[in-house]
C-alpha cells in the first residue's frame, strides 16, 4: 500500500472514530433529557396525589404546575434539539464511513495494479532470459 493511501485511510479512520464518539455523546445527552422528563412526570403525579389529600397544598399546586409545564417544555425542546443534532451526526458518520471505504478500495486497487505490473515485469524478464539462453545455447 502506498504511503498516501495509508495516510488517507488513517485520517479517515480517525474521523470515523471521532464522529462515533460525538454521536455517542449526543445520544447520551438525549437519553438523559428523556429520563429527566420521565422523572419530572412522575414527580408531578406524586405532587398531584399529595395535593388531593391536603387541601392547603392545592394553592401551591397552581405555581407548581406552571413550573412543571415550563421545565417539561424546556426538556422536550432539548430532546428535539438533540434528535436533530443526532441526525446530523449520523449523516456525517455515514459520509465519513463511505469515504473510508472508498479510500480502502482505491488502496486495494493500487495494490492489485502494482502486483500486476510486477508480474508483467517478471514475466518480461523471464522471456528475455529464455531468448538469451536460446540464442547462446544454440551455439
Tell me the pLDDT tens digit for each residue of 21-70. Answer: 999 999 999 999 999 999 999 999 988 888 887 777 777 888 889 999 99
Is residue 111 domain-resident?
no
Is residue 119 domain-resident?
no
pLDDT for residue 110 is more than 80: yes
Q: Quick one: which of 48, 89, 82 has its CA closest to 65?
A: 48
Let me know: does 108 contact 20? Beta carbons within 8 Å.
Answer: no
Residue 11 sits in which domain range?
Answer: 3-100
Is residue 46 domain-resident?
yes
Is residue 80 domain-resident?
yes
Is residue 68 domain-resident?
yes
Is residue 85 domain-resident?
yes
Instruction: Please provide the average confidence, as pLDDT, over all residues in the chain.
Output: 88
How far lies 66's CA from each of 38, 39, 95, in Å? 17, 17, 44
Amino acid at each position: 500500500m502506498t504511503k498516501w493511501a495509508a495516510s488517507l485511510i488513517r485520517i479517515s479512520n480517525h474521523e470515523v472514530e471521532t464522529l462515533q464518539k460525538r454521536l455517542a455523546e449526543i445520544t447520551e445527552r438525549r437519553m438523559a433529557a428523556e429520563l429527566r422528563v420521565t422523572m419530572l412526570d412522575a414527580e408531578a403525579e406524586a405532587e398531584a396525589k399529595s395535593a388531593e389529600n391536603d387541601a392547603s397544598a392545592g394553592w401551591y399546586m397552581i405555581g407548581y404546575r406552571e413550573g412543571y409545564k415550563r421545565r417539561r417544555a424546556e426538556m422536550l425542546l432539548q430532546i428535539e434539539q438533540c434528535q436533530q443534532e443526532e441526525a446530523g451526526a449520523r449523516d456525517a458518520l455515514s459520509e465519513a464511513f463511505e469515504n473510508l471505504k472508498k479510500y480502502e478500495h482505491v488502496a486495494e486497487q493500487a495494490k492489485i495494479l502494482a502486483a500486476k505490473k510486477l508480474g508483467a515485469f517478471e514475466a518480461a524478464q523471464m522471456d528475455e532470459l529464455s531468448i538469451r539462453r536460446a540464442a547462446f545455447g544454440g551455439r
